Amino acid sequence: MIALVDCNNFFVSCERVFRPDLRNTPCVVLSNNDGCVIARSNEAKMLGIKMGTPFYQVKKLIEDNGVAVFSSNYVLYGDMSRRVMSILSGYTPKLDIYSIDEAFMDFTGMGDSEELLAYSHNMVKFITKGTGIPISLGIAKTKTLAKMASKFAKKYKGYHSVCIIDTDEKRIKALKLFDIADVWGIGRRISARLKSIGVETAWDFVQKSEAWVRSELTVTGVRTWKELRGENCISLDELPNKKSICTSRSFSDGGIDNLAILEEAVANFASQCSRKLKEDRSVCGAMTVFAYTSRFRDDLPSDYIHENIYFQVPTNDLMELVSAAVSVLRRSWKGESGNYFYKKAGVIVWDTCSDSAVQGNLFDTVDRNKRASLARAIEDINRRNGFNTVRVAVQGYDMKWKLKNEYISKRFTTNIDEIIQIHLD
């Protein structure tokens, strides 16, 4: 059996751990730049605030109903996630972390349904006590069915946060109740297509033949189809190293029309990519730099910079990545100041491989040894004094491209100066 653990309204729950006064108040968390609503408490969902709505469109609704608003605080969420996952790992021989707030657990050979239920209820209590984060569990024979079960666990109070689909009878009943659009792997496009030909529920979908699914939805559709019928197709393998790493941001206000400021931003994105590669013990063979104007503004001139660069030898070197990113940007920059307002930019590194398996280049022009010892010195200083203590000059200090985050909470768990204080009168 496989269990899927899902943290309820995760970002909101993280904020509430340090704001217990908001336990029954509607809350939302906004995306970077305070752009869109990306997490909602149950009360906020009930007010009709939809996932992904631009903040300005619901600002009035939020003010009128006393909804608490938070800018996203990924340092806090990342740390809370690590705590939850760390406790979960003690409850299974195999934990597969799927996202910041979800994980699959292997429950094979860990007892019959009754025992699994008791075990899970116990775990839910312990996680809540240990971290303050409420979770839900779905247990079934396949991952897709476990995801479905977790939605039932969340929806019906009677399950007390744990729903198990252990018999064929239960599976069929659940499939008949389950909207095809809510199935894991069936997105907006495909569900619309399926509904237009009368496939409304997961049950309707599994009634179709394998050949039909194969021809209409390709092999990924067949995997989902098989999983819903109880056949395991999506493996629980550990996550391999990332194949691409992206750092990107949208810019607040109108955007950026100045090359120097955009350079600074892109240099910092490249620096982040270097750090992420090193964390993964990876190097990259290629990089893409992109920058584009707002796609919502038909009245302004638009531009779309999108350029690749290929490295002679795969690298994760800070200076090499920063200089490559900036050179690409300079080369493809078309805007005279004032012509184009770039709203978003980013750096993607790809064609990655392990840093211990780098293929050299006979015609390499760089002294790699010298670079490596300098990189080690920089990493050493930054490890002790904080990321970016030593930086490439073009990264700058102004952060003129900095994000808007008006409603951000403190880094309660990761910065000693921001630790929670309790005043006793």
Partner DNA sequence: TCTGGGGTCCTAGGACCC
How many other C-beta atoms can be found within 10 angstroms of the C-beta atom of residue 176? 11
Does 297 interact with DNA (rule: CB under 7 A)?
A: yes
- Rounded distance, CA 381 to CA 147, Å? 44
Q: Smallest distance, Å, CB 401 to DNA?
A: 10
Of 122, 207, 218, 339, the residue at the interface with DNA (CB under 7 A) is 218
Q: Smallest distance, Å, CB 245 to DNA?
A: 4
35 versus 230: smaller Cβ distance to DNA: 35
Task: Check: CB of residue 420 under 8 Å from CB of residue 412.
Answer: yes
- Rounded distance, CA 213 to CA 227, Å? 13
Of 254, 260, 339, 354, the residue at the interface with DNA (CB under 7 A) is 254
- Rounded distance, CA 59 to CA 76, Å? 25
Of 56, 156, 212, 387, the residue at the interface with DNA (CB under 7 A) is 56
- Rounded distance, CA 377 to CA 100, Å? 32
The label of the residue with tokens 């972390």 reads 97
Does 245 interact with DNA (rule: CB under 7 A)?
A: yes
Q: Smallest distance, Å, CB 397 to DNA?
A: 20
54 versus 132: smaller Cβ distance to DNA: 54
Does 409 interact with DNA (rule: CB under 7 A)?
A: no
Does 276 interact with DNA (rule: CB under 7 A)?
A: yes
Q: Sign of the C-alpha dihedral, residues 248, 252, 255, 257?
A: negative
Of 23, 129, 157, 189, the residue at the interface with DNA (CB under 7 A) is 189
Does 243 interact with DNA (rule: CB under 7 A)?
A: yes
Stretch of 114-122, 158-166, 197-205, 217-225 lying at the interface with DNA (CB under 7 A): 217-225
Does 137 interact with DNA (rule: CB under 7 A)?
A: no
Of 13, 247, 271, 409, the residue at the interface with DNA (CB under 7 A) is 247
Q: Residue 308's beta-bridge partner residues?
A: 288
Does 249 interact with DNA (rule: CB under 7 A)?
A: yes
**Residues 6 or more apart whose Cβ sits within 8 Å of residue 395:** 264, 267, 268, 271, 322, 388
Does 343 interact with DNA (rule: CB under 7 A)?
A: yes
User: Element (H or E) spanning 58, and its range?
Assistant: helix 55-64
- Rounded distance, CA 294 to CA 304, Å? 10
Task: Check: CB of residue 119 under 8 Å from CB of residue 127.
Answer: no
Stretch of 218-226, 315-323, 374-382, 416-424 lying at the interface with DNA (CB under 7 A): 218-226
Does 99 interact with DNA (rule: CB under 7 A)?
A: yes
Give the 3-state secondary structure of residue 97.
Answer: strand
Task: Check: CB of residue 44 under 8 Å from CB of residue 28.
Answer: yes
Q: Smallest distance, Å, CB 10 to DNA?
A: 8
The label of the residue with tokens 């490439």 reads 392
CA geometry: angle at 16 spanning 13 and 22, to 5°?
125
Does 45 interact with DNA (rule: CB under 7 A)?
A: no
Does 250 interact with DNA (rule: CB under 7 A)?
A: yes
Closest Cα to residue 117, out of 55, 75, 163, 155? 163
Residues forming contacts to DNA in the complex (CB under 7 A) are 31-33, 35-36, 38, 52, 54, 56, 98-99, 101-102, 147, 183-191, 218-220, 242-250, 252-254, 276, 294, 296-297, 308, 343-344, 346, 348, 403
